[in-house]
A = this chain, B = another copy of it.
Amino acid sequence: MNFEEKTIATREIHKGRIIDVREDTVIMPDGSTALRELVAHHGGVGVIAVTEDRDVFMVSQYRIAARCMMLEIPAGKLEKGENDPEAAGRRELTEETGYEAKDFTYLGAYYATPGYCEEKLHLYLARNLTYKGQHLDEGEFLNVHKMKLDKLYEMVMNNEIIDAKTAIAILKAKAILG
């Protein structure tokens, strides 16, 4: 059964730099109405870049939402209207790690938290890497780490990776590369 909800009204709550927030009134499958808080976001892209030697380029940065340094794959936001996530992924990989990749394999698109957030994140596996030079955005502070894919896989299985996109990317890269 399809339980589609039809939006009949929208109340704008916040127009921000990274997110907008609104409250929609919807008609439910049983004809009743309900309110839905929704976060709008242009989406993002994440890249797991693996060398011939099974090294992976990871970044760690401070995430105030988690109040800790977090180990993640290189990633970034899409701009409004940007509809080429692979190009965005190539850009973010080079900006954050300095590497360019000959081969990009699509690992799918994922809703981060579909109960209230429109953010969809595209993931890629990057291979055949060449160093071109890192150039971080202004105000971007991060460390780059070279880590073994098998060590990262072990960290995911031991619940030591706490970023959802990073866990998916490592698990899928390990499944593809063995």
Chain A contacts to B: CB under 8 angstroms: 1-5, 7, 13-14, 16-19, 21, 23-24, 26, 28-30, 32, 34-39, 41, 44, 61-66, 69-70, 72, 77, 106-121, 139, 141-143, 156-157, 159-165, 167-168, 171-172, 175-176
Contacts and interface: CB of A to CB of B under 8 A. Distances in A.
Contacts of A23: 16
A111 B66 contact: yes
7 contacts: A38-B64, A39-B39, A108-B160, A108-B162, A120-B162, A164-B164, A171-B175
B65 A116 contact: yes
Given A7-B64, A14-B13, A115-B18, A28 B139 contact: yes
A134 to B, nearest CB: 15
A3 B161 CA distance: 19
Given A13-B21, A113-B117, 12 more contacts: A1-B141, A4-B69, A7-B64, A32-B139, A38-B65, A39-B39, A65-B117, A66-B111, A108-B167, A110-B167, A156-B172, A171-B172
A147 to B, nearest CB: 17
Given A141-B29, A163-B110, A35 B17 contact: yes
A128 to B, nearest CB: 21
A114 B75 CA distance: 11
Contacts of A143: 1
Given A29-B141, A69-B3, A64 B36 contact: yes
Contacts of A29: 62, 141
Which among A1, A37, A114 has the highest number of chain B CB atoms within 10 Å? A114
